[in-house]
Structure 1
Amino acid sequence: MKIQIVFVFLVILGFRYSLYAQTPVADTAKIVQILDARRLSFKKINDTSSLQILAGNVKLRQGTALFYCDSCIINKQANVFEAFGNVHINDNDTTNIYSNYLRYFIDKRQAYLKGNVKLTDGHATLTTPELDYNMVSNIGTYTKGGKVVNGKSVLTSKEGVYYADLRDVYFKKNVDLKDPAYSLKADSLLYNTELQTARFISNTYLRDTSGRVIRTTEGYYELRSGRAQFTQRTTIVDHALTVIGDQIANDDSSGVIQIRGRGVMRDTAQGIAILANEIFVNKKTEAYLATVKPLMIVKQEKDSIYITADTLFSARLTDLRKVADTSVKQNTDTLKKSFQDSLVKANTLDSVAIKTSSDTLVNKDISVSSMKTNSLTSNNHDSLAKKDAAIKKQFRLSNTETKKAPSKPGMNKKPGGIKKEETNKSDSTNRYFEAFRNVRVFSDSIQTISDSLFYSFKDSTFQLFQKPVVWSKGSQITGDTIYLFTKNKKADRIKVFENSFLINEIQPGFYNQVKSSRLDAYFAEGVLDSARAKGSAESIYFLQDEDSAYSGINQTSSDIMDVFFKENQLSRVVFRRSVKGTLWPIKQKQPSEMRLPNFQWLEDRRPKTKYELFE
């Protein structure tokens, strides 16, 4: 009996010796070496082939890869072996694969694993019913469903390809990612287990715990840092904020979103939409910057407002005060002392008739209260520099990127008329927007142009600077600076400062005109109703009889004039104090001769439709 045991032991040693002796060390990557097994036996199949059967704590090696199993059958002629029970592959100490069964092609170094397959690379764990794994390329493929667990993230798909060297997993068909912070659905997805980066290559839907939804077809998302870049048409819906663009860069840590190419930004809380080829959004400060053919739409039920310029910027009023000079001084209207309302005190001359009971201007507050200096009309270069620096900081822009922002004097400075009382940042009225260079505004009732514009949601006021023009139906208003006040989203009144000029077209070539230092105009239901001109006021007024035939031309100057409109036409003028005038017979003067100094009819510059602003 002892002789038999010794004989078997010598056979095993001889087998191992012959295995090592027949193959040089340099070829160990091409063969499978048996390192350990409790039992070894041979089974002859035919004259040319036989099987080696190993059982009990089997351990094999091929190159740098180690194989463990409960039992194994090696077919040297077919260059294949099969492993059963507690299969474990350790590939160069970087990748570990576990399964119930393994079929391994030695020459190709191709492994086919079945039953509770698990692959781990130290960062993530892949589980699947079946896996094909190539030991040369370190690429694994599954086609019957798989799951990758990476920390708290769980990714599932019907098919997938795992690239061990790159730590990438290419998921295909019914891709579903779940994480405590977000969920994702896609048809295809490339995911890096080490960097936790998702690269999108097909229609993808992502939703985070805050309720934000991202729809895209191409791009990447660093799930750990929150940085993302989308290179195809993408939509991000974040509560009231929606952004759409051909390219979008997003940084959750800073809150900055950059949109390029057919960009759209909608803020449903403010009722604002911005279209531009480049838009910057800072979600933390709620600031927007739009360049490259920007267009802003202030949505209203019946008469939405369309605004275009070279640059549009919007932010919170409370943040504006941080940049603005705190030493804004009060500036009393000098016209108030010189030209007080003389409806009662002064002699009046009505060019047609005086109907005090019907004067819509009598009960209006036409005097100018004290106002704060508007720096957009001053040359405060310090505030310009502060504001430019603030915009750079908000959107993390380089100097190159901010060259598009205007630097023309009197355009970027803090606006006046802003009160210093505290405003709740969540208040929908705690907002303003500015437009710079080539500003055009269109609504059905009002159209304007100017070089720069400031609008405050707090008092619903448009402030227009540098050669502004306002049109309302057949009337045109110009001046050095114009404030357009709105109420219930309709034009309510206008204040014109310095060189004010009101022109009302009766018909081509016939113009009623009012010129003064200061003009206050009033609207009724969005239609021009009346106006008061103060300070060296002059007028040219075409008189008409009951049949609307022209009977004369009234050319008059006065300290104060009150003008009244009916059906969009100037119907009556009331002159107050220091009145001088001439009544010309209609046949004595040509309409083209009746022009006040600096007369300009700018109808060719007027936006005719909202579609002009999209060009």
Structure 2
Amino acid sequence: MTFFVLMFFSPYLLAQKALSQSKPVQSEDLVEIIKSDELEIVNENGVDSRRVTNGVFKHKGALLYSKLAIQNINTNVIEAFGNVKIVQGDTVTVTGDTLYYYGNTRLAIVSGKKTVLKDSKRTLTTRKIEYDMANGIANYKTPGRTVDEENVLTSKEGFYNTRTKEFTYYRNVKLVNKKYVLTTDTLLYNSITKWSDFNGVTKITNKDGTVNGTKGRYNTESAASAFQKRTTVDNETYTLTADSLEVDGKSNNGRGKGNVVIVAKKDKTVLNGDEGYYWKKEGYSKIFGHAYVRNVVSDDTLYIRADTLYSYENQRDSTRKLVGNKNVFIYKSDFQGKCDSITYNTADSIIRFFRKPILWSDQHYQMEADSITAFLVNNEINRMLLKGKSFVITEDTLVKQFNQVKGRTINAYFETGNKLKQVLVDGNGESAYYAVDDNQKNIGLNRVECGRMNLLFTDNRVQKISFVGKPDGKLIPPSKIKAPERQLEGFNWRITEKPTKNKTIWREL
């Protein structure tokens, strides 16, 4: 049986009367009609329903509006069509074309060409929203767009907690701010704290560069970020890559841990280590823990290892100064060395070694002093300046012995191929070298002492020597050379300590 009444008077009173006659649910849980233009009461097959035109419903403090609504009294479910709107409290409003509202669970499903959820500070627009009004959680599984005063965020799926102001977005997530753009696969965004936690391939781009990572968090207000997995910061001057990374959004300074790699783009300098810091404005880097640096010049690479490495960039002229501190090893294809402190200036290609430095070459020489300065030209050693307790040893492969020169200060000059060409000794000069005749036969050992001397070399053998002042020397025939006479005081051939490339980059102990 169908009963129809066209309401021209007090539709609310009649609705309450019908409700009192049929109570499939508790009256306090039933969705209440508070206004309508027309109300039709229907009873069909034992099911009571209401057909409401231009109605307003109230339930648990929320208001529901629509042009047409059908309310099932037995199930407490409302189907509503046309200009659908939900108003919850004084902050949340949901609008759309169609509404299914399940009063017992307070679940509202709103859909339409343009379905919108608004609160006091943001607007979510999509095609369909499921809104759990009991817990304040809205979700959508069709492409959606969230806009607030600072951000525009789009994704294919998302959840919004209207109480905690937390968003969770999935699939093709993109957050656009006037200062940056963030793309990822999964994003949890708290609009109160401004922190975005992301998981999946993520890229953050701003005017200073980009950040690429897979898991971490980013503050949309301060632009600070922290990443837990392999991440790279890339800008016009450098890249910083690490297993975990923190970046200060205002200064763009970075801190990395775990297999840190800092690449300076202008001069192809690469710093490696367990932990590293970068100060962008100052152009200053610090790295330690298995730290080493690679500097590519021409077709050769210079490697420097130290307990701690520092890099200073002069941004005006694109030059760099490298500093290594404690347990320094250096490796280049044509020379190797070790010391306790080192500086390298890429502008003038000068390397300074301090605190017990020692250098070797594949051309069979060894140099020691209190400090050594190497001057490179076209990526090859042109000159070395040794100061304080200077000692130069060259291996004479012809006689299977060692030529030696020592003094207070030594200038050593080299020709192409890093071959020793000339040695100038100034102060307390001593030399021990093997003389050969025109037939390359050893004719004896020359032992000479002189304050200043000039030695010319060919194939690591002394070809000519001149002295300033009165020399004190002797030539010892081969048959009369005693073992102690073969070495100057302080002689120590330490070729076994010469670092390899693998040792310099921590691949061997």
TM-score (norm 1): 0.76
Counterpart amino acid of 1:273? V
Question: By how many angstroms is 1:192 displaced?
Answer: 2.7
Contact 1:180 1:209 (8 Å CA) reproduced: no
Counterpart amino acid of 2:413? Y
Contact 2:266 2:318 (8 Å CA) reproduced: yes
Pair 265,10 (structure 1): closer, same or farther in 2 beyond 3 Å: closer
Residue 428 of structure 1: aligned partner = 318
Contact 1:203 1:216 (8 Å CA) reproduced: yes
Residue 13 of structure 1: aligned partner = 13
Pair 272,12 (structure 1): closer, same or farther in 2 beyond 3 Å: closer
Mapped partners of 1:532, 1:515: distance in 2 = 10
Deviations 1:433-462 (A, max 9, x none): 211100111101121211111223343222
Contact 2:434 2:461 (8 Å CA) reproduced: no
Structure with higher helix content: 1
Pair 283,577 (structure 1): closer, same or farther in 2 beyond 3 Å: same
Residue 171 of structure 1: aligned partner = 169
Mapped partners of 1:202, 1:21: distance in 2 = 57
Contact 1:124 1:193 (8 Å CA) reproduced: no
Contact 2:410 2:423 (8 Å CA) reproduced: yes
Counterpart amino acid of 1:472? S
Residue 497 of structure 1: aligned partner = 387
Pair 169,19 (structure 1): closer, same or farther in 2 beyond 3 Å: same
Matched, 1:448 2:337: yes
Higher RCO, 1 vs 2 (CA within 8 Å, ≥6 residues apart): 1
Pair 569,601 (structure 1): closer, same or farther in 2 beyond 3 Å: same
Contact 2:11 2:39 (8 Å CA) reproduced: no
Match of 2:91 among 69, 91, 94: 94
Mapped partners of 1:535, 1:7: distance in 2 = 121
Residue 102 of structure 2: aligned partner = 105
Match of 2:453 among 547, 551, 561: 561
Matched, 1:524 2:409: no
Question: By how many angstroms is 1:509 displaced?
Answer: 6.6
Gaps of 5+ in 2: none
Counterpart amino acid of 1:202? G
Match of 1:260 among 257, 262, 268: 257
Pair 178,166 (structure 1): closer, same or farther in 2 beyond 3 Å: same
SS of structure 2 residue aligned to 1:501: strand
Pair 227,285 (structure 1): closer, same or farther in 2 beyond 3 Å: same
Q: In the TM superposition, what are the counterparts of 1:233-312 in structure 2 within 5 Å?
A: 233-312=230-309
Contact 2:86 2:95 (8 Å CA) reproduced: yes
Mapped partners of 1:113, 1:558: distance in 2 = 101
Residue 81 of structure 1: aligned partner = 78
Residue 152 of structure 2: aligned partner = 154
Match of 1:513 among 404, 421, 445: 404
**How many residues are matched?**
497
Mapped partners of 2:156, 2:459: distance in 1 = 71
SS of structure 2 residue aligned to 1:217: strand
Question: By how many angstroms is 1:274 displaced?
Answer: 0.3
Matched, 1:460 2:458: no
Structure with higher strand content: 2
SS of structure 2 residue aligned to 1:156: strand
Pair 481,611 (structure 1): closer, same or farther in 2 beyond 3 Å: closer
Mapped partners of 2:61, 2:462: distance in 1 = 96
Pair 40,559 (structure 1): closer, same or farther in 2 beyond 3 Å: same
Question: By how many angstroms is 1:14 displaced?
Answer: 5.1
Pair 120,534 (structure 1): closer, same or farther in 2 beyond 3 Å: same
Counterpart amino acid of 1:156? T
79-88 or 507-516, larger mean C-alpha shift? 507-516
Identity value in percent: 28
TM-score (norm 2): 0.91
Residue 605 of structure 1: aligned partner = 497
Question: By how many angstroms is 1:290 displaced?
Answer: 0.7
Contact 2:450 2:467 (8 Å CA) reproduced: yes
Contact 1:442 1:610 (8 Å CA) reproduced: no
Residue 221 of structure 1: aligned partner = 218
SS of structure 2 residue aligned to 1:202: strand
101-110 or 149-158, larger mean C-alpha shift? 149-158
Question: By how many angstroms is 1:90 displaced?
Answer: 2.2
Contact 1:509 1:591 (8 Å CA) reproduced: no
Question: By how many angstroms is 1:246 displaced?
Answer: 0.3
Match of 1:485 among 372, 375, 387: 375
Matched, 1:65 2:85: no
Matched, 1:583 2:472: no
